[in-house]
Structure 1
Amino acid sequence: MGSSPARPPDPAITLPQQGGVRRVAVVVVVVVVEEEEEEEEWEEEEEEEEEWEEEEEEWEWEEEEEEEEEEEEWEEEEEEKVKEEE
C-alpha cells in the first residue's frame, strides 16, 4: 500500500475565498449598522420624551404659579370690596 493520492481541496476551506461569504459579511455589517441606528433613534426618542416631560413639569409649575397669583389677586379684590362696604 502506497501513499494515498493527493485529495482535492475541501470546498468548505476554499469557500471563504469566494464572493458569497463577503456578501454575507456585508449583510451582517448592514444589520449591525441598522441596529445601531435604531438604538440611536430610540435614545433620541427617549431624550425627546424626557425633554417633553421636563417642559410639561415647567408648564405645570408655571400654571400653578399663575393660579396662585390669580388667587392672591382675587383675595386682594375681595378684601378691597369688604373695606369699601365698611
Structure 2
Amino acid sequence: MEIIEEFFIELIFRRIIVGVFGYYTLLAFYKVTNNREGLKWLEEPAAHEGEEFGKGCLISMVGLISFSGVIILIAYLFY
C-alpha cells in the first residue's frame, strides 16, 4: 500500500506540479523575454551532474512558486 501512495505522491507533486508548472513557466518566460540563451539552456542536456542538479533545482523552485500563485489566484477568485 505504501508503494501506491508513494507512486501517486511522486506523480502528482514531482511530475505534474513541479515538472509541468516549472518547465513551462520558464519556457514561457524565456519566450516572452526573447532570451535565446535561456531557451538553449533549458532545451539542451546538461554537460555534467552539477549543471543538471542546478537546472532541476531552478525548475523545481519556479514550479512551486507558480503552482502556489495559481492556487492563491483560484482561492481569491472563488472567495
Establish whether TM, by shorter chain, passes 0.5.
no
Determine which structure has greater relative contact order: mean sequence separation of CA pairs < 8 Å that are 6+ residues apart, divided by chain length. Answer: 2
TM-score, scaled to structure 1: 0.36
